[in-house]
Amino acid sequence: MADPLKNLPKLPVERALKVISGRWKPVILYHVFSGPKRLSELKRMMPDITQKVLIQQLREMEEHGLVSREIFAEVPARVEYTATELGLGLEPILYALCRWGQRHAEAQGENHALLDCIVRPRGVEAAAA
């Protein structure tokens, strides 16, 4: 596998988008912001993702420093994924994207089936949402 850090763009906004690009990375991050998650938990939260793709996305995010993987010495082995400090820095950005998605759905008259944005960035009061 090629080193994912070698081919990152030089423009910071392009680099940021490249690191979190894809259908699943923002969703995975959204779920790990609330605390450590096992692979099986993440799979249940995202039933449309295949296990192969979930593992691939988690590995890429681990290589980019967005999530950490902890292996517990148990039988059977238990593995948990947690957002790193660097990954948690994306929390307010993903929350803002979630809120924008809600406003977009409302503007299109399609907000009847949307879920709430459950992630609250540190320091943002519920009233501000």
Residue 67, pLDDT score: 98
Q: Which of 71, 67, 92 is nearest to 80 (CA)?
A: 71
Contact present, 62 and 4 (Cβ < 8 Å): no
Lowest mean pLDDT among 3-17, 51-65, 74-88, 115-129: 115-129
**pLDDT, mean over the chain:** 87
Contact present, 78 and 38 (Cβ < 8 Å): yes
Per residue in 63-97, pLDDT tens? 999 999 999 988 888 999 999 999 999 999 999 99
Q: How confident is the model at residue 45 (pLDDT cuts 50, 70, 90)?
A: very high
Question: Is 60 strand, coil or helix?
Answer: helix
Residue 119, pLDDT score: 53
Residue 129, pLDDT score: 38
Q: How confident is the model at residue 126 (pLDDT cuts 50, 70, 90)?
A: very low
Alpha-carbon distance 53 to 39, whole Å?
12
Instruction: Tell me the domain boundaries of the chain.
Output: 12-110
What CATH number matches the domain at 12-110, 3.40.50.740, 3.40.50.300, 1.20.1440.230, 1.10.10.10?
1.10.10.10
